[in-house]
Amino acid sequence: MTDKVTIQPKSKPEKTTISISGETSERLEIYCRANGILRKEFVSLALEYFERTGFDLKSNALDYSPLEKIIGELNEVKATMQTSNEGTEAIRQLLQAVREQTAKQLPAPELIAKAAEEKVRAEMRAEEQVKELQVLQEENDRLRNEIKVLQEYKEKAHRELCRVRDEQKTFGKIKVKTEFLSSTYKCNFLGADNKQ
């Protein structure tokens, strides 16, 4: 990654042109239309993403740090949801107590108001949890797709390594067999000379 302090733009032109192939231009146009952004916005957004994530396009190694960051964020969201669930459980128990008391006697107006407030809070928390769960599910799906791609890459690399290993074994067998036959032939040939 380059040092941001040492790289400074030469000057600040108002507008500039980036040259890309016709095929890339068509793909970019389709992508921008599908996502409702302008081509110039795409370049700015992509640059912001790479600067924010630190993703190095020149690196040949797979960089898992963005995934690790996302997993950390998911763990934080999970902990938040668990805390929210504990609060929801307390509210549920409170509502149950209110219902039981209501069944025994006429409720006081304060209890009705408090229960209504708690119910509204519980519904709001439930809506927030549904939204958070949906975000988590989308992130989970995206991560699963990335893991699937990485798994396919791993399997492809494993097959290639096995193929190379098998070729090396085959070459080794051919060499050993050739040397064995050559030495056997020499022994037979020399043995025939000794008998004469």
Per the CB < 8 A criterion, the answer to whether 20 and 31 are in contact is: no
Per the CB < 8 A criterion, the answer to whether 124 and 87 are in contact is: no
Please report where in the chains the tokens 């050739």 appear, as a residue: 178
> What is the Cα 38 distance to its own chain's centre?
27
Q: What is the pLDDT of residue 75?
A: 85
- d(CA 125, CA 86) in angstroms, rounded, equals 11
Q: How do the pLDDT tens digits run along the chain, 196 residues long?
A: 445 556 666 666 677 888 889 999 999 999 999 999 998 888 888 888 878 877 766 764 556 666 777 888 888 888 887 777 777 777 778 888 877 776 666 556 777 788 889 999 999 999 999 999 999 899 989 999 999 998 998 898 888 888 888 887 776 666 666 666 665 555 555 555 544 4
Q: What is the pLDDT of residue 33?
A: 94
- d(CA 191, CA 168) in angstroms, rounded, equals 34
Which of 15, 128, 43 lies closest to 80, judged by CA?
Answer: 128
SS3 assignment for 147-194: HHHHHHHHHHHHHHHHHHHHHHHHHHHHHHHHHHHHHHHHHHHHHHHH
Q: What is the pLDDT of residue 131?
A: 92
Supply 23's token pair. Answer: 């095929």
Q: What is the pLDDT of residue 190?
A: 54
